[in-house]
Amino acid sequence: MQKGIKNPSTLTSMLIIGGLFFIFGFVTWVNAILIPYFKITCELSNFQSYLVAFAFYISYFVMSVPSSYLLKSVGFKNGIMLGLWIMAAGAFIFIPAALTRTYEVFLLGLFTIGSGLAVLQSAANPYITILGPREKAAQRISIMGICNKGAGILAPLLFASVVLKVTDSELFKLLPLMDAVQKNAALNELIRRVITPYTCIGVVLLALGAFIRFSPLPEIDTEHESPEMAIANASKKNIFHFPHLILGALAIFLHVGTQVIAIDTIIGYANSMHIPLMEARVFPSYTLLATIAGYLLGIVCIPRYIKQVNAFRICTFLGIALTLLIIFAHGRVALLGHVTDISIWFVVLLGLANSLVWAGIWPLALHDLGRFTKLGASIMIMGLCGSAILPLIYGHYADAWDVRRAYWVLFPCYIYLAFYAVYGHTMRRWLPAKSMLPA
């Protein structure tokens, strides 16, 4: 087993990493309101609007492996500082993007923010996985998840309170009736409202980077192995000799895609039920609250009442069931002050189904990697590009079919996640041993 954190003061480390997960959540889940906002202000199709998620998350694919080498070169603490400063640069790119109302420049800013996050994720997830007993990793990850999703609840609401006004619902109805000059002026005014919040985000990220540089956050040692692990991994020459890791990275790819679809598409789904943006903006928060409820259950129940792998399995089968209910369940309901089709509440409950999947995958995929842990973590972070690809696939089918039937993209994802939870994580070779093959 890895030696892990050298400093015995794990509480301080937990608090600092928890703060980082809060930052992850804030800058990530604000995309839920950016997608419909840019769709209006930049006059986009469903597919084009989901390029917000694509630009943000494809950076994980591009930057995850370089991040591992960066961390190996400068250390975890300096790497985290640089990651925060890269994110700050991305936030500042929003200023010229808003002044020119250029969607492509916004996408560049989102890609840059995502690149900084790739560095941070490559550092933070191994920390929290190794920081204590493996059988309690899901507990620790759940605590980090609460920090992440708590920020995710606040981010869309705070952003909407800054950039949206009570009168905007009427303005959105009038936009199609305006002439070109009036419409251009109105859209320019709308888009420039993002300048203030993203300038503040950039300044905060710069300050946090400086704080991390001088914080007591210790390094983690993933380069040394116990004698037993060294013997077990002696024949392993590269990362592809660990099937449970590669299959785990694919599981992460599909999981984060389903999670982003559940959160970032729900406003558009509410709009399809004629719920205005000012009302629909709260639905991502409902989904995130369901996720936090799952985290709390995980903290209380794992491993005392249920093994983390069994919780992982339950969540994947729940995801399969909820996907079918989203597509096939019908009926108007009044709940929490909203009159909607019942299916949207099954989208909300996907937050519960997704809650313990990330926590289930990471310890299983990183188990016994030894000196390959940093690179393995980067491969796992590379899987976060699923958040870029799957929302685009959803957007394509939302345009081709409709926003409800497009949720079919979730079904094969949860099927694979169930496979990994039941069997895939146990695989230690790609093919059965020769002695197991028929003569």
Q: Radius of gyration over alpha carbons of the chain, in Å?
A: 22
Provide the residue range defining the domain that includes 150.
7-216+239-427
How many structural domains does the chain have?
1
| DSSP annotation string for 24-63 | HHHHHHTHHHHHHHHHHHTT--HHHHTHHHHHHHHHHHHH
Between CA 108 and CA 317 the distance in angstroms is: 37
The answer to whether residue 419 sits within a structural domain is yes
The answer to whether residue 171 sits within a structural domain is yes
Q: Which two tokens stand for residue 357?
A: 């999947």
Between CA 306 and CA 309 the distance in angstroms is: 8
The answer to whether residue 422 sits within a structural domain is yes
* For residues 158-176, average pLDDT: 82
Tell me: the pLDDT tens digits for 115-148?
A: 998 888 777 776 676 666 666 666 777 788 788 8
End-to-end CA distance of the chain: give it in Å, rounded: 37
Tell me: the pLDDT tens digits for 278-300?
A: 899 899 989 989 998 998 898 88
The answer to whether residue 279 sits within a structural domain is yes
- CATH code (residue 298): 1.20.1250.20
The answer to whether residue 230 sits within a structural domain is no
Give the distance, in angstroms, between the CA of residue 150 and the centroid of all CA atoms in the same chain. 13
Between CA 183 and CA 180 the distance in angstroms is: 5
**pTM listed for this prediction:** 0.76
Between CA 137 and CA 143 the distance in angstroms is: 10
Residue 268 near residue 398, CB atoms below 8 Å: yes
Q: Which two tokens stand for residue 383?
A: 């899987």
Between CA 85 and CA 210 the distance in angstroms is: 9
The answer to whether residue 403 sits within a structural domain is yes
Give percent of the chain above pLDDT 90: 40
The answer to whether residue 435 sits within a structural domain is no
The answer to whether residue 65 sits within a structural domain is yes
- 247-256, 306-315, 374-383: which range is least confident on average? 374-383
